[in-house]
Amino acid sequence: MGRRLLRTLALPAGLAMASAFAVVPDAGATQPSVTADGPELSYVVNVRPGHGNAARAERAVGRAGGSVVIAYDRIGVLVAHSKNPAFARTIRAVKGVQSAGATRTAPLAAQSSDDIATERVLTAAEAGKAAARATSAQDPLEPLQWDLPAMKADRAHEKSLGSPRVTVGVLDSGVDDTHPDIAPNFDRKASASCLGGVPVQKDDAWRPVAGESDHGMHVAGTIAAAKNGVGVTGVAPGVKVASLKVAEPATGMYYTEAVVCGFVWAADHGVDVTNSSYYTDPWLFNCTTDADQKALVTAVGRATRYAERKGAVNVAAAGNASTDLAQDEIADDSSPDDTTPVPRTVRTKDCLDIPSQLPGVVTVSATGAKGIKASYSNWGRDVIDIAAPGGDTTAYQPPAPPATSGLILSTLPGGKYGYKAGTSMASPHVAGVAALIKSTHPHASAAQVKALLYKEADATPCTAPYDIDGDGTVDAVCVGSKGKNSFYGAGAADALDAVTK
């Protein structure tokens, strides 16, 4: 277990502030009056990492009308709450503060699940038919998992199931560790709830409760459902899986403070791979030309880089808007998604989907049962790093029998199983392959694991013309070579190569 770098702040009374954090703004700056008549919002405040700078910023936060919730000194990020409508503007004027911004537009305690709405729970009759078709080497529902042979995971499992010394952290809506397919591989020590930006392990806080999203549970099963004669099989059924709960229970929102906490906790608790099947709310794209959004990019970017420095490979979903992320401008009519969206056009050179478009993060597009880019999947030259099964509608990409659905089958809370589709489902397939690579090469750095992930991918040429619905109209244009293009990046993730090369 790594050293914990999370801590709440409680400075002794009268402790002198370092000169780097003078609470008087620069000469000529106009300091807004401190009031507390607005809705309470959450903020990130970014300072120079290390050297106690985050702790020394507490008084400045208080003078600006806020209170510090937690500080991550190693990455120089504080989470603060304030009812001062001018808090961000005020704290940004303080010497030593590099950036600051509201993480939401809705008040505290008031998508973003990134899966396609088409989903259903597996029936008992379907389960019985699948079990009757299963071989002695398969789990009962494995005949319905077309995604495993699509990436040669079934053949990989003949060589290796992955190492229990490798842990994949699922930053999502929570994981039910009592599920019979998850319990054998669950890593409790590396699991926590990060809601509000503060890690909590008490009372199994990492679990989804009744009525909450089952998204994280589906993701976890795709990665590491145990090969134990029960239900489905994960891509890496011998590795451990940890739950980092970052989605708000009531709204399903993935806010910056929780996402930062998830990456830092994972880094400090020995997680080898992280999976992020979401975008950070409330902005579909965070633009560095906006002072608030720039602070969010900085905070999450510092957290992902910190996790990578500690050895974690960060994998993320590319998104489901059927959009070319490499075009110069993109219309965004969904942001902010926690209050009233205001349509805008964003420039891709300034605006990022985080965490998936942050430097160093593995960005994953989705394919269907025919190995073609899924109808909903985003794409983009020099944006997509790799592709993996995410499912598509049966009409577009029907699977070969005995599979009956073109969606992805995985675990659901309460011992259930169900189908979903999305780049949310593609990303955990890649996270599973990364875990197999780490199992095969236990001393490999994060950079080396990523290099092998791309090198071992099956080069996939552009699909051209791409008319996924067969109506005679080209739905997307792929550009690039067989080994690097805008639909599939380096190609399709290969689980067999992960355990044999």
**Residues 407, 411, 412: CA angle, nearest 5 degrees:** 100
Among 33-42, 159-168, 294-303, 364-373, the least confident range: 33-42
Q: Is the pLDDT of residue 285 over 50?
A: yes
Backbone dihedral region of 167: left (phi > 0), alpha (psi from -120 to 50 degrees) or beta? Answer: beta
Place of tokens 């950079």: 447
Please report, in angstroms and rounded to a whole number, the separation of the first and last CA atoms in the chain: 29
pLDDT at 316 over 70: yes
**Banded model confidence at residue 1, pLDDT cuts 50, 70, 90:** very low
What does the block give as tokens for 88?
């961000």
Predicted pLDDT at 15:
27
Q: For 173-218, give the secondary structure using H, E and C.
A: CCCCCCCCCCHHHECCCCCEECHHHCCECHHHCCCCCCCCCCHHHH
Burial (0-12, 13-18, 19+ Cβ within 10 Å), 93: buried
Cβ–Cβ under 8 Å, residues 362 and 453: yes
What pLDDT, on the 0 to 100 scale, is given for residue 33? 55
Which DSSP symbol is given to 126?
Answer: H
C-alpha 425/C-alpha 376 separation (Å) is 12
Take residue 357 and report the two structure tokens written for it.
């478009």
Map out the domains of the chain with their CATH numbers. 6-102 (3.30.70.80), 120-500 (3.40.50.200)
Distances in whole angstroms, Cα of residue 477 to Cα of each of 210, 322, 473: 42, 11, 11
DSSP string, 416-460: EEEEE-SHHHHHHHHHHHHHHHHHHSTT--HHHHHHHHHHTSB--
Q: How far apart are CA 9 and CA 422, in angstroms?
A: 40
Four-point Cα dihedral 134, 140, 141, 146, nearest 10: -40
Strand-pair partners of 324: 379
Between the alpha carbon of residue 399 and those of residues 36, 124, 148, 176, 390, the distances in Å are 58, 21, 12, 29, 13
Give the side-chain half-sphere CA count within 13 A for 296.
Answer: 33
**Between residues 51 and 174, the one the model is more confident about:** 174
- Lowest-confidence region among 25-29, 302-306, 375-379, 451-455: 25-29
Condensed to tens digits (0 to 9), the pLDDT of residues 199-257 reads: 999 999 999 988 899 999 999 999 999 999 999 999 999 999 999 999 998 889 999 99
User: Which pLDDT score, from 0 to 100, does residue 377 have?
Assistant: 98
Residues found in the chain: 501
DSSP state of 348: T
pLDDT digits (tens, 9 = 90+) for 64-120: 999 999 999 999 999 999 999 999 999 999 999 999 999 999 998 743 334 444 478
User: How far is the C-alpha of 366 from the C-alpha of 375, rounded, in Å?
Assistant: 9
CA atoms of 107 and 78, how far apart (whole Å)? 18
pLDDT in tens, 416-436: 999 999 999 999 999 999 999
What's the pTM value of the predicted model, to 2 decimals?
0.92
